[in-house]
Structure 1
Amino acid sequence: MLFKRKLFTGRRKETHPLVWLAAIICALIATAVVIAGIVVFLGYLIIHPRVPVISVTNAHLDLLSNDYAGLLQTQLTIVVTAHNGNAKAHATFSDIKFKLSYQGQTIAVLVAEPFFVRKNSSRDLNYVVQSSSIPLTPDQMEEVNDAWKKNVIGFDLKGDARTQWRVGPLGSLKFMCHLNCLLKFHPLNGSYVPSKCTSKSH
């Protein structure tokens, strides 16, 4: 009985107030994170967004010249349109970088500073690309000659852009736009062959 009396009447260790305070703070932070996530998710559902896209909406082959030495010179005008089809949220486009090339030969890199597109609106980026003399291999020279004969020549345009929507005061949605297109032209008059050249997002 003495042993049991000592066992039940022993002094218990109390939890330090700072431990309780830390636990409360952690619980509040976790709750705030959950609430913020719910707000962003509900905002996403409410605005029912259409993902921002970048497209080539117009272009022109201003110059195409090749000589017997295997040197190619070209100039292109390319209109890239950033479109925000969301009627309830503005969008920001940044980290824009597209490489224009012919038969693996880089002609130019198209870039742009970050910019803002209002909801349900678009913005055009007008590029005039002039190449220096590009040395061609015999196979590439043959490709250019065939392009003149067929009156069709293609240039590759590949790259990425980052887009972001603001959803309410607590969150945002981010996407990457990937563009991978073959731009075709009629070299005899420089006209652009319209095609679906629109970015894919994730």
Structure 2
Amino acid sequence: MGTPYHFQSPRTIMNKIINMKQQPPALPQPPPPAPTKIILQPRHRTTPAMWCAAIVCFAFSILLIVAGVVILIVFLAVKPRAPSFDLANASLNSVYIDSPAYFNGDMTFVANISNPNQKIDMVFRSATVELFFKDRPMASQALPPFAQRRGQSRVLNVHMVSSRVLLPPEVAMELVNQVRSNRVVYTIRSAFKVEARFWFGHYSYWMYTICELELTAPPCGVVAARRCRTK
């Protein structure tokens, strides 16, 4: 509580009056903000078409899940494996190059194809075997269709004949040098369209094999080394 004016000195009273006159007038208080109105959007009703689309999508998702589970169960029960391809034997009968760098050759080889599956039969619809030297095609042979029961093997005798195949001079010279050094390297590539049959279904795929074959010089060239891979 302040000191009453009658107990204060005249100078103190005058200073207070001057200070009160120098203070700026109080600003009026701003009015309180108006209450915010919340506008509610009307709720859209779900149409029958949207319900039908949702039901179809849900059913399709369930179908995909069931199909995936069935395929997984069949895969685990069948355990499919690709056939194996290997060269059991080969013979280089002749290699002849005449002018200007025309290649003539004769080679036979024995291929062993095995079906390692115990629950799948294989049908080879088409098969093509090609002979290459330094990535240059030398001969090609088509094989007739054949079938293989589960766990069986089949031996194929393939005769590759090259007749007047034009080679670049550097490739022809490389082939001559390999014959002279008693080391001829060929590449055999094959493509098989395989149909796998099991129980009530089947599926088809292409199988490709590549074999690197090293033979001694003709006329009695035999296999010195080989390496085959399948994909």
TM-score, reference length from structure 1: 0.72
The question of 1:101 aligning with 2:167 is answered no
1:97 shift after superposition? 2.2
- SS at 1:194 equivalent: strand
Residue 103 (structure 2) aligns with: 72
Structure 1 match to 2:33: none
Work out whether 1:162 is the aligned partner of 2:190: no
Matched, 1:183 2:213: yes
Please state if 1:114 is matched with 2:152.
no
What residue number does 2:225 align with? 194
Aligned mates of 1:179, 1:90 — CA distance in 2: 20
| 1:21-42 residue CA offsets vs partner (Å, 9 max, x unmatched) | xx99999898777655544432
The CA deviation at 1:148 is 2.1
Q: How does 1:16-31 map to 2 (within 5 A)?
A: none
Tell me by how many angstroms 1:75 deviates: 0.5
1:58-69 map, 5 Å: 58-67=89-98, 69=100
Q: Does 1:126 align with 2:157?
A: yes
Per-residue CA deviation, residues 41-85 of structure 1 (Å, 9 max, x unaligned), is 322212323322323322111111224543321111122232110
Q: Separation in 2 of the partners of 1:103 and 1:196?
A: 16
In 2 relative to 1, CA 86–62 (structure 1 residues): closer, same or farther, beyond 3 Å?
same
Moved more, 180-189 or 119-128: 180-189
Higher normalized contact order (CA 8 Å, seq sep 6+, divided by chain length): 1
Structure 2, unaligned runs of 5 or more: 1-47, 49-53
Q: Which protein shows a greater Rg?
A: 2
The CA distance in 2 between the partners of 1:32 and 1:87, in whole Å, is 30
Q: Which residue of the partner structure matches residue 86 of structure 1?
A: 117
Greater alpha carbon shift after TM alignment, 161-170 vs 84-93: 161-170
Report which stretch shifted further, 162-171 or 137-146.
162-171
Deviation at 1:89, TM superposition (A): 1.7
Deviating above 3 A after TM superposition, structure 1's stretches of 4 or more consecutive aligned residues are 23-40
Structure 1 pair 142–108 and aligned structure 2 pair: CA distance change class (3 A): closer
> Would the aligned equivalents of 2:114 and 2:154 in 1 still touch at CA under 8 Å?
yes
Kindly tell me the number of residue pairs found equivalent between the two proteins. Answer: 186
After superposition, the CA RMSD in angstroms is 3.2
Letter in 2 for 1:66: I
Within 2, Cα distance between the matches of 1:181 and 1:125? 15
Establish whether residue 41 from structure 1 lines up as the match of residue 72 from structure 2: yes
**3-state SS, counterpart of residue 85 of structure 1:** coil
CA contact (8 A) 1:54 1:177 kept: no
Of all paired residues, the percent bearing the same amino acid is 23
